[in-house]
């Protein structure tokens, strides 16, 4: 539910020139920064909904669940990975989000580089 970390203001992510997504520990999308929002027609309809609905690939869903489970179990190190899609390389960095030393969710940063 969105209210779990609603006291946190994520608008500072809007200043970044890379895509940034804030996702709670239940995999619901809490914030999409301005750069990432350019990819979608109506970001307000996505907020509060599970990110698993956006990912059609079974492997992607499994990777997301694994990442969340590892962070829930106490992992603090970021996940970094990349993949090629067409002529572009996609890079992602996923970090855990804590509030009062309690795991609350993840922040994903992603960017493209021409291959």
Domain 2-114 CATH (choose: 3.40.190.10, 3.30.450.20, 3.40.220.10, 3.30.420.140): 3.30.450.20
Give the whole-angstrom CA distance, residue 97 versus residue 105.
Answer: 5
The pLDDT tens digits for 65-94 are: 999 999 999 999 999 989 888 888 999 999
Checking if the pLDDT of 6 tops 80, the result is no
| 104 and 88 Cβ atoms separated by less than 8 Å | no
The C-alpha R_g of the chain, in whole angstroms, comes to 14
Please compute, for residue 45, the number of CA atoms within 13 A of its CA located in the half-sphere on the CB side.
Answer: 5
**What pLDDT, in 10s, does the model give residues 32-70?**
999 999 987 787 788 888 888 777 788 888 999 999 999
Bridge pairing between strands 29-32 and 79-85: unpaired
What tokens does 72 get? 């829930």
Q: Worst-scoring range by mean pLDDT, 14-28, 49-63, 94-108?
A: 49-63
pLDDT over 60 at 115, yes or no? no
């Amino acid at each position: 539910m969105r209210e779990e970390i609603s006291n946190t203001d994520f608008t500072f992510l809007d200043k970044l020139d890379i895509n940034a997504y804030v996702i709670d520990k239940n995999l619901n999308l809490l914030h999409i920064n301005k750069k990432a929002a350019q990819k979608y027609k109506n970001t307000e309809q996505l907020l509060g909904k599970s990110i698993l609905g956006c990912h059609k690939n079974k492997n992607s869903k499994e990777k997301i669940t694994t990442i969340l489970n590892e962070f829930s179990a106490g992992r603090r190190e970021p996940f970094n990975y990349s993949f090629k899609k067409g002529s572009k390389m996609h890079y992602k960095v996923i970090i855990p989000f804590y509030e009062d030393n309690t795991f609350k969710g993840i922040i994903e940063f992603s960017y493209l580089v021409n291959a």
